[in-house]
Amino acid sequence: MKKKKQQTPKTERVLPTPEFLEKFDVEEKQTQKAGERRMYVTNQLWIDTYYKKGIIDYSQHLTAQKLLGLFRRAGRHQKVTMTFSKEPIHKGADKGLNLDAGAFSDYNKLRSLMGKNSFSICQDVVCFNLSAKEWAEKNRRNVKASAELFRISLDDLADAFKQLSL
């Protein structure tokens, strides 16, 4: 006697709460699967907010996203949680972490190609999600000029990406 395949129940779609919608903008986009749509938060990062407000243009936004992708691939993202196990954590591809050594190398090359201040503002705003104003206060720079400094730094970052041919 053949067993019937068990139907896996489809989970209901989880919609954002009204409080979440007050804080963030949500956009529904088509996925590669036919008829399937997915919700995206369009202003969760400072680079998204700056792009929506017109502070940075589209090419600068793409450059910032490229740096963020490189930063995450290199395994340089912030450690938000901690573990309480007494065993040491083993890192590396054979231990389950998928870190890209080439991405880490490219990230360090970008750091050396750009100036210290220029890379600092790009790293803090793009990778660590600080506002340009927060970066200026942290580094004792002019707060009113922080957005312009960020734009100039993104142009420097685009030039550095061209030099690395990434």
Helix (H, G, I), strand (E, B) or coil at 50: helix
Give exposure, 65-96, as e/b (b: 16+ Cβ within 10 Å).
Answer: ebbbebbebbebeeeeeeeeeeeeeeeeeeee
pTM of the model: 0.71
How many angstroms from the chain centroid is the CA of residue 9? 33
What confidence score (pLDDT) does residue 60 get? 96
pLDDT tens, per residue, the chain with 166 residues: 566 666 666 667 777 888 888 888 888 877 777 777 777 788 889 999 999 999 999 999 999 999 999 998 888 665 555 556 666 555 554 444 556 778 888 999 999 999 899 999 999 999 999 999 999 999 999 999 999 999 999 999 999 999 988 6
